[in-house]
Amino acid sequence: MKLTIPPGPHNAWLFDMDGTVADSMPLHYIAWKQALAEYGCPLFPEPLFYSWGGMPVREIVATLNLRHSLSMPIEEVARRKEGLYYEQLPNLTAVPEVLEQIEEAHSRIPFAVVSGSTRESVTASLRVLGLLDKFDVLVCAGDYKKAKPDPEPFLLAAQRLNVPPETCLVFEDTEMGIQAATAAGMQSVRIPQPHERLPPQSS
């Protein structure tokens, strides 16, 4: 499957990280399930996990605390989950359709990552994929006050790249991310979720 790029001109491309550049969502889910089980949290259903794509790690823990009347230590659980994700990194691959676009357009248009993950997680993932040097700017959790679907993360990336927001093209795999891009006045390309990219099963 080849991605359809809307007509430009575009002065910058902004990429979500997990599920967009890196096919990392299944690995993050493994890490979440193990970390939450260790702290006595009820099951974190996979559809809910994907619907919360783009939400910062600490916000997910806090939201689960409220939802299940728990008092999990937010920083501790976040660190544990990140550590478990790092253990999965040898299995990480790039999303092929997005990698193709990055390789085709690199050096002729500036790139930024705009992610709800920590800078450490984003950097580690990009390093494993051999893509760290492709990106001019990284906007990660902690760099902004309001997470997606608020447009702040994308607007901050445009500011750091010194380009008008309306000239940016966003690559996103979640509804939250698409909403944030639209609110920022940016065009977007939706990246299919892992289960949408699976080839049809033969009968």
Q: Do 127 and 157 belong to one domain?
A: yes
Whether 179 is in a domain gets the answer yes
Task: Render pLDDT for 150-159 as a digit per residue (tens, 0 to 9).
Answer: 999 999 999 9
Q: Do 65 and 125 belong to one domain?
A: no
For residue 30, the enclosing domain spans 25-90
Task: Render pLDDT for 112-122 as a digit per residue (tens, 0 to 9).
Answer: 999 999 999 99
Stretch (H or E) spanning 189 = strand 187-190
Task: Render pLDDT for 30-50 as a digit per residue (tens, 0 to 9).
Answer: 999 999 999 999 889 999 999
Stretch (H or E) spanning 169 = strand 168-172
Q: What's the distance, CA 36 to chain centroid? A: 20
Domain count, the chain: 2
pTM of the model: 0.89
**Annotation marks residue 16 as catalytic:** yes
Q: Do 61 and 100 belong to one domain?
A: no
CATH of the domain at 151: 3.40.50.1000
Instruction: Show which of 41, 60, 90 is a domain's final residue.
Output: 90
Whether 119 is in a domain gets the answer yes
Catalytic residue (one of 16, 18, 23, 173): 16
Q: Do 31 and 129 belong to one domain?
A: no
Whether 2 is in a domain gets the answer no
